[in-house]
Chain A
Amino acid sequence: MRRLLGVLSVALALAVCSASAWSQEGILTFSPEPAVLEISPGGRAAGHVAIENASPREADHIELTWTGSTEFALDPTPEGVAVLGAFAATSVEFTIAATRTATLGETRGSFEVIYTYCIGDLCYQIVESVPVALRVAAAAQTPPAVAAGAADAAAAEAPTHVSWRWIAFALAALLVVPAALLRREGRARVLLAAALLVAGGAALGLGVSLDQHKQAQAVGAVLCTSCVGIETVQTLSPRLSVAQAAAVDGLAKPVDLLVFYAPWCRSCPYAEGLVDLIASRNPLVRYRLVNAEVERGLAVEHGVTRAGRTVVPAILRVDTGEVLFGAENLGDRLVTLLEERT
């Protein structure tokens, strides 16, 4: 009876875990067109990436960069999309330029797309790779191949792979239930262990192929102050008290600040907003936003890491090297930081 209770609770946990993630799974699909880009060495080819938002959430700051072979480059840098509303679609035009020495033949490249979306106060940055096929041919004027069919197929496939993942996950996770219930030695145990080994190996492999190991590392590498309860999340809109505003107005020397943040950090927008508020009050205060996940080196160099762990939000005063961590009571702490003489 008790054993049954244990198993039931676990099954329920898995179900909730699945359901929750199902309801929050990924939101944009990208399909480059034409499916195969015809390009000549030294030449250029134009196309567009169709972007579809299949979710009830808004996607922000969609940017496209080239991460394929250096024989090609985006020229000019395509314009990003500031906001893509729920269930909306758009497309981004791009032009790819090939170097004169580009190798002839078929090759593959990829765009890296970055965008963010928010659920409540919590925002995620999604980085995805969008593969494109290129055909480098000496004659520049070959008409582009008719490949709309392939692109359609890719677009149609995109929504289903999400549920595929969940089915695969549920199948693997279901194996755990008999494992937990097993009470007898013998063949059943060996078989179950073998099945679990296969499932575990497959899950690991799939996880790695989806870059989930990097995601795990990213979660561990940058620590947000509210994540494990160093302070509470600060989501109010930033404000300065009268005394703080007066102190900011009274600053007479230029100060440069670096504001370290992570895209998923919930207190960071508050810290960013407060610094922006101060900078707009007094132009002597200048600042730059630094994504601590991307510019890790900068964080290390400026001592925004503590014993190897980068902590966000962190505000660095460049000339004194002083750092403020967290968002709690930040107004007063910032004013003190700004008022200090060098």
Chain B
Amino acid sequence: MKLAHGRRVVQGAGILFGLFGVTGIGMTHILFPGLHCYACPWAITVCPVGLVQNLVIFGTVPFFWLGAMIVYGLVAARGFCGWFCPFGTLNDLLSFRKVRIRSAFSYGKFVVLLGTIIGAWALTDTVFCKLCPAASLEASLPYLFLGVARVNGPFLIHMATLGLSLVGMVLIARFWCRYLCPMGAILALFNPVSLLQLEWRSAECTGCETCVAACPMGIDPRREHDGHNCIKCGACTESCAPDCLALRYGPRRKQ
């Protein structure tokens, strides 16, 4: 099976996991390793971004949250973005135009993360959630059909952020994940130490740059394979004819 097919299967599993509440299981203690709204009527997991805002408001020292983030970071870091996160999968499905990344803008996600936390602290409110496009899709819309939400100001704001993100995704592959996602920013911190690594063997590289064209995040896999923008999706590894790019799992480089 090709890597891309395997990835679709895992992404499907991510969506199933995200919507596992249809089976009647309620909320569990698990934090989702991606951006998946806990307000989604069928969510069985807690959104780390939503939770940390609440913890900042409550004034809790977030040990459990930090521990979960570190574990997810070690297990796959942004590999969860490439392989598991349902909102990332939506980004993926709309990845038509793999334009090069604007590296400066890609720090936007850290700014969003910072703003999320400062906003929660300063306004004692979950400010990010009110703008979050994942919530627009996974909470606002379902609740409209379930008769809880009404078309009002906050609903329209959600639709606007979702609309803008969708337009962004169509024009720029993985737009949300590249530039804005605070969850992507958290996972990105662990990219260099994660057990899931993208490896580049320079000796075999012919400089054809097909990998650059293949990357949905618009980075140069040869130079930024362990940077904060690689989602370890493996698209570049499949495109590389001499096979000098590979995903590897484990603490050490294979010789």
- Closest-by-CB residue of B relative to A186 is B253
Taking A169-B63, A204-B68, A232-B154 as contacts, is the C-beta distance between A308 and B42 under 8 angstroms? yes
Cβ-neighbour of B37 out of A21, A22, A23, A228 (below 8 A): A228
- Closest-by-CB residue of B relative to A176 is B189
Binding site for A on B (CB under 8 A): 21-22, 24-29, 31, 37-39, 41-43, 45-47, 50-52, 54-71, 73-74, 103-104, 107, 110-111, 113-114, 117-118, 120-121, 124-126, 129-132, 135, 139-140, 142-143, 146-150, 152-155, 157-158, 185, 188-193, 195, 226, 228, 251-253
On whether the beta carbons of A205 and B67 are closer than 8 Å, the reply is: yes
Q: Could you tell me the distance between the alpha carbons of A189 and B196 in the complex, rounded to whole angstroms? A: 13
What are 11 pairs between A and B in contact, CB < 8 Å? A6-B107, A17-B62, A17-B117, A20-B59, A169-B62, A175-B70, A183-B192, A204-B68, A217-B28, A229-B131, A229-B154
- Closest-by-CB residue of B relative to A126 is B58
Question: Which of chain B's residues have a CB closer than 8 A to the CB of A210?
Answer: 63-64
On whether the beta carbons of A203 and B64 are closer than 8 Å, the reply is: yes
On whether the beta carbons of A228 and B121 are closer than 8 Å, the reply is: no
Question: Which of chain B's residues have a CB closer than 8 A to the CB of A326?
Answer: 148, 150
Taking A13-B113, A308-B24 as contacts, is the C-beta distance between A124 and B58 under 8 angstroms? yes
- Closest-by-CB residue of B relative to A8 is B110
On whether the beta carbons of B189 and A180 are closer than 8 Å, the reply is: yes
**How far in angstroms is the closest Cβ of chain A from B121?**
4
Taking A189-B193, A200-B70, A207-B64 as contacts, is the C-beta distance between A230 and B149 under 8 angstroms? yes
Q: Could you tell me the distance between the alpha carbons of A203 and B60 in the complex, rounded to whole angstroms? A: 13
Among B46, B63, B103, max chain A CB count under 10 A is at B63
**How far in angstroms is the closest Cβ of chain B from A55?**
10
- Closest-by-CB residue of B relative to A326 is B148
> Is A150 located at the chain interface by the 8 A CB criterion?
no
> Is A87 located at the chain interface by the 8 A CB criterion?
no
**How far in angstroms is the closest Cβ of chain B from A213?**
4
**How far in angstroms is the closest Cβ of chain A from B26?**
6
On whether the beta carbons of A219 and B57 are closer than 8 Å, the reply is: no
**How far in angstroms is the closest Cβ of chain A from B61?**
4
On whether the beta carbons of B65 and A212 are closer than 8 Å, the reply is: yes
> Is A132 located at the chain interface by the 8 A CB criterion?
no
Cβ-neighbour of A196 out of B73, B135, B158 (below 8 A): B73
> Is A90 located at the chain interface by the 8 A CB criterion?
no
> Is A89 located at the chain interface by the 8 A CB criterion?
no
On whether the beta carbons of A216 and B74 are closer than 8 Å, the reply is: no
Q: Could you tell me the distance between the alpha carbons of A226 and B143 in the complex, rounded to whole angstroms? A: 13
**Residue-by-residue, is A213-249 near B (CB-CB < 8 Å gives 1, otherwise 0)?**
1111101110101111111110000000000000000
How many A-B contacts if CB must be within 8 Å? 261
> Is A192 located at the chain interface by the 8 A CB criterion?
yes
Q: Could you tell me the distance between the alpha carbons of A204 and B65 in the complex, rounded to whole angstroms? A: 8
- Closest-by-CB residue of B relative to A197 is B74
- Closest-by-CB residue of B relative to A212 is B64
On whether the beta carbons of B29 and A227 are closer than 8 Å, the reply is: no
Question: Which of chain B's residues have a CB closer than 8 A to the CB of A173?
Answer: 66
Question: Which of chain A's residues have a CB closer than 8 A to the CB of B157?
Answer: 229
On whether the beta carbons of B117 and A216 are closer than 8 Å, the reply is: no
**How far in angstroms is the closest Cβ of chain B from A26?**
7
Question: Which of chain B's residues have a CB closer than 8 A to the CB of A214?
Answer: 29
**Residue-by-residue, is A101-124 near B (CB-CB < 8 Å gives 1, otherwise 0)?**
000000000000000000110101
Q: Could you tell me the distance between the alpha carbons of A326 and B47 in the complex, rounded to whole angstroms? A: 22
Question: Which of chain B's residues have a CB closer than 8 A to the CB of A185?
Answer: 253
- Closest-by-CB residue of B relative to A222 is B27
> Is A318 located at the chain interface by the 8 A CB criterion?
no
Q: Could you tell me the distance between the alpha carbons of A175 and B125 in the complex, rounded to whole angstroms? A: 28
Cβ-neighbour of B129 out of A204, A213, A225, A229 (below 8 A): A229
Taking A10-B189, A16-B117 as contacts, is the C-beta distance between A230 and B64 under 8 angstroms? no
9 nearest A-B pairs in the assembled complex, by CB-CB distance:
A207-B64, A24-B59, A200-B70, A204-B67, A203-B67, A307-B41, A212-B64, A229-B130, A207-B63
On whether the beta carbons of A309 and B39 are closer than 8 Å, the reply is: yes
On whether the beta carbons of A212 and B63 are closer than 8 Å, the reply is: yes
Question: Which of chain A's residues have a CB closer than 8 A to the CB of B29?
Answer: 213-214, 216-217
Question: Which of chain A's residues have a CB closer than 8 A to the CB of B54?
Answer: 219
Among A24, A197, A199, A307, max chain B CB count under 10 A is at A307
What would 16 more interface pairs be, CB under 8 Å, given A165-B61, A197-B74, A325-B147? A17-B117, A20-B56, A122-B125, A165-B63, A168-B63, A204-B63, A206-B63, A206-B64, A215-B60, A216-B51, A219-B46, A223-B38, A228-B50, A229-B154, A230-B148, A308-B24
